[in-house]
Structure 1
């Protein structure tokens, strides 16, 4: 069971782990052990996730989310499998926790009259400065 928060936990049956050989330092050891972890979680078909959380996860522009709605996390930061496995699970929990928070709705506002006047005064000031940078006209 992967605990996300007090109200949500993902059962082990929904998590698919695959172990593969990691690249990087480690000498001969890295060529013989499968220490990297690929954790897959099917966001689109998960019965555990609330609908709002599922929609927020699927709406994310995340390259780890494939076209089928499966979130794929690869962990190969550490040299031993147990630490990589824990790292992948923690990263998944962080992603799901972020989707639990409902984003605030933006309230459309208009600039005040004073703000518009300040903006226009600033534009006039910049225009004057740039006009002074030009060559003076010669009297004919």
Structure 2
């Protein structure tokens, strides 16, 4: 089973959009393992990909065909890199929102409420003191 030209082109465009270049990839073909019998044990259809800038490694042995595994490995690599970029972006947004919340001024009503709670707490604590002799 081979991969259609449209799917290959779509994958190339996605790789370009994510900034993945073929020069940045280390690709190895290794002997597979597991069920499949003699065909799996004799052929190097298992694909190992490593993206050097991100140090992400992918190993694919889903299909018996090497070409199909190459396509699937690249697609998995794109998924992982996209997920990593998404996590970094959301973490940055969360950090910005946290700083914004910290800098935001409290409303007058909330400030009055906080001050009132502080006064009540102060009174409670002052009642704990030993009575002064005098």
TM range (shorter): 0.5 to 0.7
The answer on 1:40 being equivalent to 2:84 is: no
1:78 match: secondary structure: coil
1:84-95 residue pairs with structure 2 within 5 A? 84-95=69-80
* TM-score w.r.t. length of structure 2: 0.53
Could you tell me whether the CA contact under 8 Å between 2:15 and 2:21 is conserved in 1? no
Match of 1:26 among 36, 61, 82: 36
State the 4+ residue runs in structure 1 displaced beyond 4 angstroms: 106-109
The answer on 1:105 being equivalent to 2:90 is: no
Q: Which residue number corresponds to residue 27 of structure 2?
A: 17
Choose 1 or 2 for highest CA Rg: 2
Q: Which residue number corresponds to residue 76 of structure 1?
A: 61
Alpha carbon RMSD of aligned pairs, Å? Answer: 2.8
Q: Offset of 1:79 from its aligned partner? A: 1.4
Q: Which residue number corresponds to residue 124 of structure 1?
A: none
Identify the structure with bigger relative contact order (alpha carbons < 8 Å, sequence gap 6+). 1
- Figure out how many residues of one structure are paired with residues of the other and give that number: 87
Structure 1: 5+ residue stretches without partners:
45-69, 110-140
Q: Offset of 1:84 from its aligned partner? A: 1.2
Q: Offset of 1:98 from its aligned partner? A: 1.8
Q: Offset of 1:5 from its aligned partner? A: 6.5
Q: Offset of 1:87 from its aligned partner? A: 1.1
Q: Are residues 42 and 100 of structure 1, via their aligned partners in 2, closer, same or farther at CA, if it must alter by over 3 Å?
A: same
Could you tell me whether the CA contact under 8 Å between 2:24 and 2:53 is conserved in 1? no
